[in-house]
Amino acid sequence: MSDNSHDQHEAHTGPVKTPKQMLLLSLASFVIPVFIIIGLVFYVTSANKPGAGAVDTEKATALRIQKIGSVEVRDANRPLKSGSEVYKAQCAACHEVGAAGAPKFAEAGAWRARLGQGLDALVNSALKGKGAMGAQAGGDFNDTEIARAVVYMANAAGGKFVEPKAPEAAK
């Protein structure tokens, strides 16, 4: 019977039998999580892993530091375009059909009130933009060429404006 009582006592004890085992288990339950935490900290702070969503870090860097604008040097000595050339290239898309309220080409009724404002007001409206028309200054044509196109359109609708001449070169 004494053997039987000893077996019942063994069944109710834990896996730790000695104080040495208890000390090692306590130490391990503290040290192992500390090493896991240190390893995670090193992983998170390491710099050699790619960022979230970054496929190619060189491409991503190039996109972040790309130029915003550019400077284009144009030939200042090129011959100026005529009013009809500039009209066909820049203005005809809207003024041929009267898109977005643009006065139609050679339609005197649509241009009558505008012609009364004078050439300077018409050229200013073309250069700075008016209504749905965006500013034409700074595009493919210089201000004199835009003014020539304005004169071409205004004269086709009954205006009597003189086409601007090319500015003289600075000496």
Please tell me the pTM assigned to this model: 0.54
pLDDT exceeds cutoff 70 at 101: yes
Task: Give 151's contacts (C-beta < 8 A, 6+ positions apart).
Answer: 83, 119, 159, 161, 162, 163, 164
Token pair listed for 161? 């404006």
Residues 6+ apart with CB under 8 A from 97: 104
Residue 170 confidence class, pLDDT cut points 50, 70, 90: very low
Q: Which domain holds residue 117?
A: 83-156
90 and 40, same structural domain?
no
Half-sphere exposure of 80 (CA within 13 A, CB side): 17
C-alpha closest to that of 156 among 103, 118, 117: 103
| Confidence label for 35 from pLDDT (cuts 50, 70 and 90) | very high
Whether 151 and 91 share a structural domain: yes
> Does residue 141 belong to any structural domain of this protein?
yes
Q: How many domains does the chain have?
A: 2
Supply the mean pLDDT for the chain: 79
